[in-house]
Amino acid sequence: MKDFKTIKGSICAPLGFRAAAVFCDIKRLGTGKGSEKGKKRDLALIVSEAPAVVAGMFTSNQVCAAPVKVSARNAKRSSARAIVVNSGNANACTGRQGMRDAEGMTRLTAAALSSFGLTKWIPANEVLVGSTGRIGVTMPMRNVAQGIRACSRLLRRSPKNARDVAEAIMTSDTRRKEIAVEFKIGGKSVRIGGICKGAGMIQPQLTQSLHATMLAFITTDAAIESGFLRNALKVACNESFNRITVDGDMSTNDTVIVLANGLAKNRCLDRLSQNRGKFQEALNFVCLELAKMIVRDGEGISRVICLRIRGARNSTEAEAAARAVANSALVKTSWCGGDPNWGRILCAIGYSSARIDESKVDIGYSRSGSSRILFGCRRGQPTGVVLKKFAPITTAKEFDIHVDLHRGDGKFVIYASDLTEDYVSFNKGDITDPASLGG
Amino acid sequence: MKDFKTIKGSICAPLGFRAAAVFCDIKRLGTGKGSEKGKKRDLALIVSEAPAVVAGMFTSNQVCAAPVKVSARNAKRSSARAIVVNSGNANACTGRQGMRDAEGMTRLTAAALSSFGLTKWIPANEVLVGSTGRIGVTMPMRNVAQGIRACSRLLRRSPKNARDVAEAIMTSDTRRKEIAVEFKIGGKSVRIGGICKGAGMIQPQLTQSLHATMLAFITTDAAIESGFLRNALKVACNESFNRITVDGDMSTNDTVIVLANGLAKNRCLDRLSQNRGKFQEALNFVCLELAKMIVRDGEGISRVICLRIRGARNSTEAEAAARAVANSALVKTSWCGGDPNWGRILCAIGYSSARIDESKVDIGYSRSGSSRILFGCRRGQPTGVVLKKFAPITTAKEFDIHVDLHRGDGKFVIYASDLTEDYVSFNKGDITDPASLGG
């Protein structure tokens, strides 16, 4: 029984959050190509009317983009007011100029917000920045500056454009990803809203230390203590964004940021609050739903598989086994064909760092969410169930795989996609058409 | 200056080796499909007329096929006489029955060889066995038994059919892979011949302990001490088969076996011999040429990339960086498009376990074997070289990538392929056509 309900409004559902997006042609200068494909918005602002407690989780890739470095630093402060985000350019592998540009985006945003009367004067480090798009190309700062001002102007006129922002952060995504929930904390209504983007280069390994091209922005009007918010976000990410994989590539830009402005006026939540579980549960739900939207919209994918490993010696080994399977090219192509090829799954587990005994492994398939498992192998040996019996399960858009290693209590669940010809076509680009070359 | 020359004859070039292959329809019983595609030979014997010193390297996958277990055990003996090998069925994930069948193949071979007068009576454990094909299906032993007898009969009549054997071990391979070399050891001519197969599920990690679907069989008439042969094979594999990857999947069946029968009558080679280097050099060459043939024939591939990592803190980290890049779905798809996407390469190195400093990394491209490197990034920043300058390099069938991490002396070279739509089509199978489902 969930203690919250899903509501509309996405990141603008919580009190006191404004959001808007504009088109400022960020791709053009980088690629030499114009905006023939239509003016998809590419720069967005998310602003809290009141100072907000901030928490962030960022890619653990050693090569991390300038905006990630800037946001990770600014997320360590006690409060923040705004997030500026762009698509079309990841500002990654751009060296010192990249850092200057990411800093520049926070300064320009702080200045524009106060000059348009959206906030009082705020320092640049109360602004966080997220970027996604092509790697290795410097930001077209003239366009960005113009976009930030245009977006601020728009925010004053029309404060609630969550849908436009969810669209502006899309790159290879085919649909917006947004959600909001509402629940009660001591009689007060509290809301959490979230948007995200991501379709390729997806296997986030978010850590709280400074170390995507998955971006997620979460707003809440909960009053919450900073340390508790950070911990709650870490817990939620580990159960959601850190459990998805599309292609096994961890991006240089993965970012999850949450702003909590306290306007719900609930009694401030901390790690001792009676209601802390309610908040955590709602935040987990928001993050997991957003994470699943990413897998379902994975580049070129045709199926989503929920892979459940149990019986590993410990959870670390369960995770290792799960990632080996979920990132095996041969397993993923078999999923594409609707082939219950448990031999390839067993093979991938065998080369993972999980210690296993082949003669103990069970591998079975079920419809999504069902506990009626049809086993392909038990104790490492074929069950002899004929292939066509698996077809109704394994040719569905979503299904579950259940692996029991029978070695201990370690468990891990991962949401993965198949590997299709379309994924390859989409990502291979064509050197004769530079605009086709992906980030 | 090489101390050896390439000759014809493959595994039958060394003195005293016989080889033949027959069709015995090993696939049929497993899949319910007949042999409409023509009678491609699927069972082969390689026999030494004299007792041979034996060495083997086998998959380090914890899930290893029955024939691997049997061969690894028999390779520990001081001598062997024959190898029986089949395609169409990997005899993997087949439990106790699989072990009985693999043992059965060695027994049937030993019996047939003596009954047809090819050897005196030999014990079953002087026979090694290799299998490749579908996983999780038990061997059709009636067909196998008939094949072994037919093949032995053929061997007596016609002893030198190396080409047929190279063909018989093919599965998704599109061409035979064979080589032979000749060199002098103290005035005596010595020969090494080799064949191999492999196109998918290729990232061998061979170890000498019991721990493909790459199979390689090497024959030599060198007189050689057992311990030295084992070490020489280990060295050669680490510089060849262990440095290739097609799809990053390590098979349950990877096997390399060498038989050395001493008929060249050279003074016996050991680790103190003056000529040990010559033998090692020739064996390295044979293994590397065979390994490269595997990558060039990788399933659906369109390009082969030689990726050279240097400047890592140590060779372990260099290898980790190389494997992360060579197995990144995004890097491999960019190679498919001829896209010099060094950003994706840097990103993959960033999430590898190699410690790097982004601001020190150089990434460049050259024609295959050339030292004229065109850099995409230096010290972590774009060189600004326009894309079209890279095109003549990166759209070639083979090219080299040079990465310098500038952190130490660690080096690693890996031969990798791109990821294409054809790879996916080939491996996804189709559950409505069980015969299409791969191993």
**Which residue is associated with the tokens 């601020």?**
A152
Distance CA A182, CA A190 (A): 6
Report the pLDDT value the prediction gives residue B439, as an integer from 0 to 100: 45
Nearest chain A Cα distance for residue B99, angstroms: 12
pLDDT tens for B231-282 read: 999 999 999 999 998 877 777 888 999 999 999 999 999 999 999 999 999 9
Answer whether residue A212 shows pLDDT above 60: no
Task: Identify the H or E element spanning B66.
Answer: helix B66-74
Residue B320 lies in a domain: yes
pLDDT tens by residue, B89-131: 999 988 899 999 999 999 999 999 999 999 999 999 999 999 9
Instruction: Please say whether the beta carbons of B364 and B329 come within 8 A.
Output: no
Between CA A295 and CA A274 the distance in angstroms is 34
Radius of gyration of chain A (CA): 22
Which of 103-162 (A) contact B at CB < 8 A? 134-138
Report whether B182 contacts B191 (CB < 8 A). yes
Residue of A nearest to B300 (CA): A421
* Chain B residues within 8 A of A380 when measuring between CB atoms: 63, 93, 95
Say whether A419 and B329 touch across the interface (CB within 8 A).
yes
The distance of Cα A145 from the centroid of its chain, to the nearest Å, equals 26
Residues B437, A358: C-beta atoms closer than 8 Å: no
The domain boundary, picked from B277, B296, B315, lies at: B296
Q: What residues contact A61, with CB distance under 8 A and at least 6 apart?
A: A205, A211, A250, A251, A252, A254, B347, B350, B351
- The CA distance from B174 to B286, in Å, is 20
Distance CA A173, CA A263 (A): 32
- Edge-to-edge strands, sheet with B398-404: B244-245, B410-417, B304-312, B398-404, B362-367, B374-378, B381-382
Tokens representing A306 are: 């929920």
CB-CB under 8 Å, B343 with A93: yes
DSSP code string of A15-45: TTEEEEEE---HHHHHHS---TT-----EEE
Segment B323-335, tens digit of pLDDT: 999 999 889 999 9
Whether B337 has its CB under 8 Å from any CB of chain A: the answer is yes
Q: By C-alpha distance, which of A342, A383, A341, A380 is closest to A362? A: A380
CB contact under 8 A, B61 and A419: no
| Residues 273-332 (A) with a CB less than 8 A from some CB of B | 328-330
Q: Does residue B309 contact residue B356 with C-beta atoms inside 8 Å?
A: no
> What token pair was written down for B143?
């067909």
B-chain residues within 8 Å CB-CB of A93?
Answer: 342-343, 346-347, 358, 377, 380-382
Which CATH number is B236's domain given? 3.60.70.12
* CB-CB under 8 Å, B428 with A336: yes
> With contact defined as beta carbons under 8 Å apart, do A104 and A151 qualify?
no
Q: Do A351 and B60 touch (CB under 8 A)?
A: yes
Instruction: Clarify whether residues A53 and A172 are in a common domain.
Output: yes
- C-beta separation of B217 from B233 below 8 A: no
State whether B150 and B64 are in the same domain: yes
**CA nearest B437 in A: which residue?**
A339
Tell me the catalytic residues of A.
Answer: 213
Residues B171 and B198 in one domain: yes
pLDDT of residue A249: 73
Q: Which helix (H) or strand (E) holds A79?
A: strand A79-89
Give me the phi and psi of B199, to 5 degrees please: -150, -30
| H/E stretch holding A129 | strand A127-134
Same domain, yes or no: A241 and A167: yes
Residue B266 lies in a domain: yes
- Asked if residue A311 has pLDDT above 90, the reply is yes
- Answer whether A185 touches B (CB < 8 Å): no
pLDDT, average across residues A161-189? 94
My answer on whether A286 and A382 are in the same domain is: no
Question: Which of these ranges, A321-335, A370-384, B207-221, B347-361, has the smallest mean pLDDT?
Answer: B207-221
Between A80-94, A226-240, B24-38, B407-421, the lowest mean confidence (pLDDT) is in B24-38
Rounded CA separation B369/B298 (Å): 20
A216 located within any domain: yes
Q: How far is CA A372 from CA A364, A365, A368, A400, A414, in A?
A: 9, 8, 10, 10, 19
Band (A137; pLDDT cuts 50, 70, 90):
confident
Alpha-carbon distance A307 to A402, whole Å? 6
Residue-level length of chain B: 439
In a domain, B439, yes or no: no
With an 8 Å Cβ cutoff, is A31 touching chain B? no
Does residue B378 belong to the interface with chain A, where contact is any CB pair within 8 Å? Answer: no
Q: Do A350 and B64 touch (CB under 8 A)?
A: yes
| Whether B93 and A382 lie within 8 Å, measured CB to CB | yes
Distances (CA, A) of A117 to A14, A112, A146, A205, B25: 21, 8, 17, 38, 81
**pLDDT over 90 (residue A248):** no
| pLDDT of A432 above 70 | no
Q: Cβ of A417: how many Cβ atoms within 10 Å?
A: 28
Which residues of A fall within a CB distance of 8 Å from B64?
350, 358
| A273 and A308 share one domain | no
List the beta bridge partners of residue A180: A193
CA distance B272 to B333: 48
Interface A:B, Cβ pairs < 8 A: 248
**In this complex, which of A61, A333, A342 lies closest to B424 when CB atoms are compared?**
A333
Q: How many helices (H) and strands (E) does chain B have?
A: 12, 17
Inspect the interface and report whether the beta carbons of B350 and A62 lie closer than 8 Å.
Answer: yes
Residues A166 and A79 placed together within one structural domain of the fold? yes
Please indicate whether, in this complex, the C-beta atoms of A424 and B427 are within 8 angstroms of each other.
no
- The neighbour count for residue A172, using CB atoms within 10 Å, is 21
User: Quick one: CA dihedral B284, B285, B286, B290, positive or negative?
Assistant: positive
Find residue B191's DSSP bridge partners: B182
Contact B437 A201 (CB under 8 A): no
Structure tokens at A295: 């897998």
What's B316's domain CATH number?
Answer: 3.10.20.340
Choose the weakest-confidence range: A19-23, A224-228, B395-399, B430-434: B430-434
Gap between the terminal Cα atoms of chain A? 42
Domain annotation covers residue A359: yes
Question: What's the domain count of chain B?
Answer: 2
Q: Do B350 and A427 touch (CB under 8 A)?
A: no
Residue A168 has pLDDT above 60, yes or no: yes
Q: Which residue of the set B109, B132, B213, B219 is catalytic?
A: B213
Over range B330-344, report the average pLDDT.
91
Q: Which residue range is the domain that position B379 belongs to? A: 304-419
- Tell which residue, A288, A239, A217, has the closest CA to residue A19: A217
Confidence of residue B203 (pLDDT cuts 50, 70, 90): low
Q: Shortest Cα distance from A305 to chain B (angstroms)?
A: 15
Q: How far is CA B188 from the centre of its chain?
A: 29
- Mean pLDDT computed over A218-246: 95
The predicted structure's pLDDT at residue A32? 43
- Phi, psi at A215, each rounded to 5°: -120, 135
* Interchain CB distance below 8 Å, B338 and A430: yes
Are residue A271 and residue A352 in the same domain, yes or no? no
Q: Helix, strand, or coil here: A132?
A: strand
B406 and B356 in contact (C-beta within 8 Å)?
A: no
The closest CB to that of B95, out of A381, A394, A425, belongs to A381
Chain B residue closest to A383 (CA)? B136
Q: Is A385 on the interface with B (CB under 8 A)?
A: no
For B281, residues 6+ apart whose C-beta sits below 8 A from its C-beta are B2, B3, B4
**In which band, very low, low, confident or very high, does the pLDDT at B30 lie, cut at 50, 70 and 90?**
very low
Average pLDDT in the B6-28 region? 95
| A436 falls within a domain | no
Tell me what pLDDT residue B247 has.
78
> Lowest-pLDDT range, A403-412, A422-431, B395-404?
A422-431
Kindly state whether residues A266 and A319 are assigned to the same domain.
no
Residue A5 β-bridge partners = A182
| Residue B410, both tokens | 């660690």
**pLDDT at B48 exceeding the cut of 60:** yes
Whether residue B434 is contained in a domain is answered as: no
For residue A433, give how far its alpha carbon lies from the nearest alpha carbon of chain B (Å).
Answer: 10
User: How many Cβ atoms sit within 10 Å of the Cβ of residue A217?
Assistant: 29
Q: Model ipTM? A: 0.81
Q: Which of residues 39-78 of B touch A (CB under 8 A)?
A: 60-64
Q: What is the pLDDT of residue A370?
A: 95
All residues of chain B having their beta carbon less than 8 Å from the beta carbon of residue A423 are 329, 333, 424
Residue of A nearest to B299 (CA): A330
- What average pLDDT does the structure give for chain B? 91
Under an 8 A CB cutoff, do A337 and B251 touch?
A: no
Contact by Cβ (8 Å): B393, B342: no
Q: Among the three residues A261, A296, A331, which one is the final residue of a domain in this structure?
A: A296
Residues with Cβ within 8 Å of A81's Cβ and at least 6 positions away in sequence, in order, are A47, A48, A51, A52, A113, A119, A122, A126, A127
The domain boundary, picked from B279, B296, B313, lies at B296
User: What SS3 class is residue B226?
Assistant: helix
If pLDDT is split at 50, 70 and 90, which confidence band does A210 have?
very low
Closest in A137, A338, A358 to B63, CB measured: A358
Average pLDDT, integer, range A353-369: 95
Chain B residues with CB under 8 Å of A376 CB are 136
Residue with more model confidence, B165 or B36:
B165
Cβ distance A382 to B94 less than 8 Å, yes or no, reads yes
| CA nearest to A317, candidates A353, A360, A346, A363 | A353
Q: What sign for the dihedral angle of Cα B71, B75, B76, B80?
A: positive
Residues facing A328 on adjacent strands: none
DSSP class of A250: P
The pLDDT value given to residue A171: 86
Contact A62, A68 (CB under 8 A): no
Q: Give A86 to chain B, closest Cα distance, Å.
A: 19
| Contact check, Cβ <8 Å, A347/B390 | no
**pLDDT of res. A7:** 97
Residues of A with Cβ-Cβ distance to B358 under 8 angstroms: 62-63, 93
Return the axis-axis angle of helices B141-157 and B95-115, rounded to nearest 10°: 30
Residues A137 and A197 in one domain: yes
Q: Is the domain of B178 the same as that of B71?
A: yes
Backbone angles phi, psi at B266, to 5 degrees: -70, 160
Cβ contacts of B134 on chain A, cutoff 8 Å: 343
Domain shared by A315 and A179, yes or no: no
Mutate to test the interface with A, among B431, B432, B433, B436 (most CBs of A within 10 A): B431
Question: How far, CA to CA in Å, does A120 sit from each of A14, A126, A127, A146?
Answer: 21, 12, 13, 21
Contact between residue A423 and residue A299 where contact means Cβ atoms under 8 Å apart? yes
In this structure, is residue A437 part of a structural domain? no
pLDDT tier, A60 (very low <50, low <70, confident <90, very high otherwise): confident
Rounded Cα distance, A414 and A436, in Å = 31
Q: Which residues of B touch A212 (CB under 8 A)?
A: none
Of residues A213 and B70, the one with the higher pLDDT is B70
pLDDT at A91 over 60: yes
Contacts of B391 (CB under 8 A, 6+ apart): A431, A432, B338
CA distance B89 to chain A (A): 12
* pLDDT band, residue A209 (cuts 50/70/90): very low
